[in-house]
Chains A and B, each alone.
Chain A
Amino acid sequence: MSTVLLILKRCALRHWRLALRQQVALMLILALGSSVYLAVRLASNAALSGFETFTDGITRQPDWTVRAASGSLHEKDLREMREVLSHRPVTLLPVVEETVTPAAEAGNGEIGSRPTWRLLGVDFVALLNLRGEAPAGLGANMQAVRSGVYVSPKLGVKEGQELKLIVDDRVIALKVAGVVPETLGIPALPKHLLLMDLPEAQTLLMRGDKVDRVEVLAQDSELFPNLREETGELLKSHWQVTGGANRRQLAGTMTQAFRLNLTILSLLALLVGGYLIFQALDGVVLRRREEIGILKSLGVTDREIQLAFLIEAALLGLCGGALGVFLGWLGAQGAVGGVTKTMNALYGATSEQQAALSAGEAALALSISIVASLIAAWWPARMAACTPPAHMLGRHATPFEGGTVWRVEWIGWAMMLAALLLAQLPVLRFENGTRLPLAGYAAALFWLVGAGLAAGSMLRFITRRRALSAVWRVAFSHLRRPTVRHRFAVAALASAVSMTTGMTLMVASFDHTMRGWIDRTMKADIYISSAGAQSASSTHSISAKTVAELAQDPAVAELAYVQARTMLWNGGEVLVLGTNAVFAHKHGLYAWVEPPKKDEWWKADDGITPAIISESWSERFGTRVGDAIKLAGHQVRVVAVNAEYGNERGSLTLPAEAFREWFDTDEAWRVAIMLKPGIDAESVRDRIQRAQPGLSVFTNAHLRGEALRIFRQTFSVTHALEVIGVIVAVAGLGLALTSLLLERRPELATLRSLGMTRSEMARSAALEGLGVACSGALTGIAAGVWLGWLLVYRINKQCFGWTLQFHAVWWHLAALGVAVIVVGVLVAVLVGRWVAMLPAEHTEE
């Protein structure tokens, strides 16, 4: 060990001092890789945590949350719960919760552009009993709380001020009863949370005696040592009960698609970042090969040299990782706004949180940096240790080409074959309908790595033609007998291009399918929803009175509406819809995946209510056509499966009559209007909007545009990270060529002595770069097409249950290939010119 430390102290750390800029650059590369991963992770976590922190400041984390299968609990349920729990020291906290929109902020017409706040109604008396003190300074005398809402000081409004809010289709004015000061040690009220006493909130939200959920908090008791578990068991026998972390879990399920996209892309950044580190460390070994040769000739063992390099890499990883943690945190602050906005548009109200850095996340980023550094350093360190001293010292020696295993292409082909087999395996299913396409992910990984390893074959393929000149001959000769560095450069480019191609195809297929689905299902002239519904999954409703008023409009030829309720089914949140089936059938609004056996599907044959399920439901819960399922105490028969790209949780559509009977409501979720012929939709839209400020009114064209805008917003991060991935891979190509040409300096000197000019040497290097870039791009695109197929037909289907129509955007892929090749050649020309300018090595004295 002392020899290793001596090498580190006398050699490695001196190199750090002498070439400080190089070391800083290396650390920045490491920092870049880990920071992108950390930034995306922190931003995603921050946006996700917004789903749960609304209530944390008030009630603390409940042990259990009780919900009704039908969506609402009654006061009688509360009484029954108390009876079931008997004298156990458990606090029941009934809650109503709803998203609201400030009427003053009109937004820019885009869905999700208006801010979304959350109104929470809790029983203040129960809260006082629970905490034994007024929560967060609400006032010592809880029984005398004033009417109105309590707000956070961050909202910037004063006591007595009036807040105008949109709830469902109504604009209401609420007085600010108090501003809750932030108290040390007590979680603060989130900025966009409005707090009300339960009875007042029930009246305001027209809930009658219903509540949305009951939060159950078990108190410490010596008499009931297993109180928490006992409570859970007792309640589960009567109601839908989930653990304290349910909201986060549900939010996690809801946002799975979006987060998966981000995770894949941050891993791509990490993959190409790791490749850059490898190239950089490989360059370090190359620059120090003479020193390594001398050390070996002095009796330092191979193991000691390898260990010294690995320790140096770990130190670099530590420094780079620390820098990455800082950069990642900074990046997350910038990214959290965009991620939250996208999540809001897709999934509903989440408050924008500051991306907080925990010790665990910092440790994870540091570990990633160190591990990536060690993995990347392993081969260069092994190369340093295994290369005979003669190769290091004797400049006439042929370059070391690495171990045989790296040149065996059949490993790559075998991995690709394994990927094909893995793609046939089914998805892993968990309790609440959550799925994990583990085999699909493994197939993608095997395919990517396998394609990278097999990509070396392409080098020989593209150099089969006869060399036109000496410049071509020299360049081709290297590609025909590629070294490990060539293979790594091709593999990294192929992986990055393949991933980009796969994602491009998936996005294009999604876009194409969405457009087809929108064309098929959106045929009304005007669509209306509550202005409080700022997300695709919001269930704000429009009253029957408002719907009747809309139907009276002289421009309206036909009006139909959809009703909606969010429910828990088999442990997962689902959407139950009630639709005017006759209207939908008449206008052909269905996009069938599996059509019903008869056109009038809404008419029951066997006395059981017929229902249509979305493809996501079918995939999530394994429900098939013909199955009879029980929902909210009713039995339904699944008669068809339709395509629904609005949510990945799954929806079940009932005939309108059945929905009204089940839920005893006439309120509408979305209203569709067919106008009389010749009437301008825009003018009708403006008129309705003026008359009904609590509604969001869209023309067909506007809503189509909005749907596609939200879709593109979802994938905007994808495109940014794809560009980063390809840039990093091309930078890796530059580093690989630098290493190759530096190692070949004696050969360059020979070429110079044979009369080759600098520009010819640069051209030769450019041709070599062209060969590598072409191989990487062509293999990447070819492999990416299958990866796209895997993402579209397997992973996407298994994750979200959506059948997408594969849509190849060849011009896009051609542009990607050309861009990679052109940039690769430019980088190669620059490297070639630089190396050609270096002094000739073997002829110097």
Chain B
Amino acid sequence: MPVLEVESLTKSYAERPILRGVSFKLEQGERVALLGPSGSGKTTVLNCVGGVGRADSGSVRIAGHALSELNVDELAHLRRRHIGTVFQFYHLLPTLSAAENIELPLQLLGVATGEREKRVRELLERVGISHRAAALPGQLSGGEMQRVAIARAVVHRPALILADEPTGSLDSATGTQVLDLLAEIVRETSAAMLLVTHSPEAVKHCERVLRMQDGQIMEDA
């Protein structure tokens, strides 16, 4: 069963079509890059897949669950269990420390304290920032913040990772390091990853590329 199944997705804003019948699938462990110019509909696809935006028609299934059949709370529960997200601007909670940010998804799932602490410790070491565990986001560099964001996205072992321009705010050297780390961790966890990007460097870390233009997938290679 595919981890993600998108079928004939359409969506318009103010009568302007944004998505025009987008369809694709992601299998377990598959890393897919979604490429396209600005306004091509990449982020809208990501929103629909993440369950934070609703399509006008078509369907999205994650781990066998059709999103259109779920209410807002069921969608939230699906996100917390099956999806991890990495954003361009990190979106760490500014009042939580690095460790607390990583721990939050586990806490939402009700994982026991001991298990939570163990997993957070392991991931902090894995992403190389265990020495910054107690730091607040405001005290971290861009690269460190994105490492925390990656750890937070995978800590609950989701089936699907959505990454929206994860290197868009980083310099090229740091960006490369972060991409390497993301790809490695995704590989280790066997999660599927949908990576929205402009970066040719990022594309190298994916096995498959979907090119979008004017709300349609023009190429699946």
CB distance from B62 to the nearest CB of A (A): 12
Does B138 interact with chain A (Cβ within 8 Å)? Answer: yes
Are B43 and A398 interface neighbours, CB within 8 A? Answer: no
Q: Is the CB of B76 within 8 A of A842?
A: no
Residue A469, interface by CB 8 Å: yes
Q: Could you say which interface size class chain A belongs to?
A: 20 to 34
A398: which B residues are within 8 A, CB to CB? 94, 137-138
Instruction: Give the contact stretch, choosing among A17-25, A157-165, A348-356, A754-762.
Output: A754-762
CB contacts (< 8 Å) of A750 on chain B: these are 87, 91-93
Count of A-B residue pairs with CB < 8 Å: 99
- Min Cβ gap A762→B in Å is 12
* Contact indicator A752/B95 (Cβ below 8 Å): no
How far apart sit A588 and B40, CA to CA, in the bound complex (Å)? 96
**Complex formed: what's the CA distance from A752 to B87 in Å?**
13
| Complex Cα gap A477–B99 (Å) | 13
Would you call B93 and A477 a contact (CB within 8 A)?
Answer: yes
Is B163 interfacial (CB-CB < 8 Å)?
no
Contact with A481, one of B47, B50, B95 (Cβ below 8 angstroms): B95
Which residues on the B side are within 8 Å of A477 (C-beta)?
93, 95-96, 100
CB-CB contacts of B121-139 with A at 8 A, as 1s and 0s? 0000000000000001110
B 1-55 contacts with A by CB, 8 A: 13, 18, 43-44, 46-47, 50, 52-53
Q: CB distance B95 to A843 under 8 Å?
A: no
Q: What class of interface size applies to chain B in its complex with A? A: 35 or more
A843 to B105, CA, bound (A): 19
Among B77-85, B177-185, B187-195, B204-212, the stretch in contact with A: B77-85
Interface residues of B in 104-130 (CB under 8 A from A): 104-105, 107-108, 110
**Which residues, 127 to 186 on B, are CB-close (under 8 Å) to A?**
136-138, 152, 169
Across the interface, do A844 and B53 meet the contact criterion of CB distance under 8 Å? Answer: yes
Q: Contact check, A754 vs B80: say whether CB atoms are below 8 A apart.
A: yes
Residues of A contacting B92 with CB < 8 Å?
Answer: 750
Query: In the complex, which residues of chain B have a beta carbon less than 8 angstroms from the beta carbon of A396?
Result: 88-91, 169
B88 closest partner in A (C-beta): A396
Give CA–CA (A753, B93) in the complex, Å.
Answer: 12
CB distance from B142 to the nearest CB of A (A): 11
| A758 touching B85, Cβ below 8 Å | no
Q: Is the CB of B76 within 8 A of A752?
A: yes
A749 is an interface residue with CB less than 8 A from chain B:
yes
Task: Tell me, yes or no, whether B219 is within 8 Å of chain A by CB.
Answer: no
Residue of A nearest to B41 (CB): A845
Central interface residue in A473, A755, A757, by most chain B CB within 10 Å: A755
Docked CA distance A399–B94 (Å): 9
Which of B13, B44, B87, B92 has the largest number of chain A CB atoms within 10 A? B87
Instruction: Check if B93 sits within 8 Å of A755, measured CB to CB.
Output: no
> For residue B136, which residues in chain A have a CB less than 8 angstroms away from its CB?
481
Distance A844 CA – B92 CA, assembled complex (angstroms): 18
The answer, among A758, A759, A845, for a CB contact under 8 Å with B44, is: A845
A754 and B94 contacting across the interface, CB-CB below 8 Å: no
- Nearest CB to that of B106 among chain A residues? A470
CA distance A842 to B43 in the complex (A): 11
- The CA of A478 and the CA of B104, in the complex, are separated in Å by 14
Q: Counting CB contacts under 8 A, is B72 at the interface?
A: yes
Q: What chain B residues lie within 8 Å of A843 (beta carbons)?
A: 43, 46-47, 50, 52-53
Query: Which of A470, A746, A845 meets B104, CB within 8 Å?
Result: A470
* Residue-wise interface mask of A (724-763) relative to B, using a CB-CB cutoff of 8 A (1 in contact, 0 not): 0000000000000000000000110111111111111000
Also in contact, A842 and B80, with CB within 8 A (given A478-B95, A758-B73): no
A795 to B2, alpha carbons, bound, how many Å? Answer: 78
Whether the pair B76, A840 counts as a contact (CB closer than 8 A) is: no
CB-based contact A758/B52 at 8 Å: no
- Decide yes or no whether A248 CB sits under 8 A from chain B: no
Q: Does A267 contact B (CB under 8 A)?
A: no
**Are A470 and B91 closer than 8 Å at their CB atoms?**
no
Closest-CB distance, A402 to chain B (whole angstroms): 15
A390-431 to B contact mask, C-beta < 8 Å, 1/0:
000011101100000000000000000000000000000000
Within 8 Å of chain B (Cβ to Cβ): is A480? Answer: yes
Asked whether A474 is an interface residue with its Cβ less than 8 Å from the other chain, the reply is: yes
Is the beta-carbon distance between B91 and A473 smaller than 8 angstroms?
no
Report yes or no: A842 in contact with B89, Cβ–Cβ below 8 A.
Answer: yes
Chain B hits for A749, CB < 8 A = 52, 91
- B76 near A758 with CB under 8 A, answer yes
Set of chain A residues within 8 Å of B47, measured between Cβ atoms: 843-845
The residue on B at minimum CB distance from A475 is: B95
Tell me, rounded to whole Å, the shortest Cβ–Cβ distance linking B69 to chain A: 17
CA distance A478 to B107 in the complex (A): 17
Task: Report A-chain residues with C-beta under 8 Å of the C-beta of B87.
Answer: 750, 753, 842
CB–CB A474/B76 < 8 A:
no
Within 8 A of B (CB), among A451-500: 467, 469-470, 473-474, 477-478, 480-481
Closest to A754 in B: B105
A752 and B76 alpha carbons, distance in the complex (Å): 7
A750-B152 Cα distance, complex, nearest whole Å: 11
C-alpha gap A398/B44 in the complex (Å): 25
Q: How far is the CB of A219 from chain B (nearest CB, A)?
A: 78
Chain A residues whose CB sits within 8 angstroms of the CB of B52 once the complex forms: 749, 752-753, 840, 843
A758 and chain B: residue at smallest CB distance: B72
- The residue of chain B having its C-beta at the shortest distance from the C-beta of A397 within the complex is B89
Shortest distance from the beta carbon of B132 to any chain A beta carbon, whole Å: 17
Which residues of the partner chain A approach B100 to less than 8 Å between Cβ atoms?
473, 477
> Which chain B residues lie closer than 8 Å to A840 at the CB level?
52
- Listed in ascending order, the chain B residues whose CB lies under 8 Å from chain A are 13, 18, 43-44, 46-47, 50, 52-53, 72-73, 76-81, 83, 85, 87-96, 100, 104-105, 107-108, 110, 136-138, 152, 169
Ranked 5 nearest A-B pairs via Cβ: A755-B80, A396-B89, A477-B95, A755-B79, A470-B107
A-B pairs with beta carbons under 8 Å apart, 12 shown: A396-B89, A396-B91, A398-B137, A399-B94, A473-B107, A477-B100, A481-B136, A747-B94, A751-B93, A842-B89, A842-B91, A843-B47
| Beyond known contacts A752-B52, A842-B91: 20 more, CB 8 A cutoff | A395-B89, A396-B88, A398-B137, A473-B100, A474-B96, A477-B95, A477-B100, A750-B91, A750-B92, A752-B79, A753-B79, A753-B85, A754-B79, A754-B152, A755-B76, A756-B108, A757-B77, A758-B76, A845-B13, A845-B18
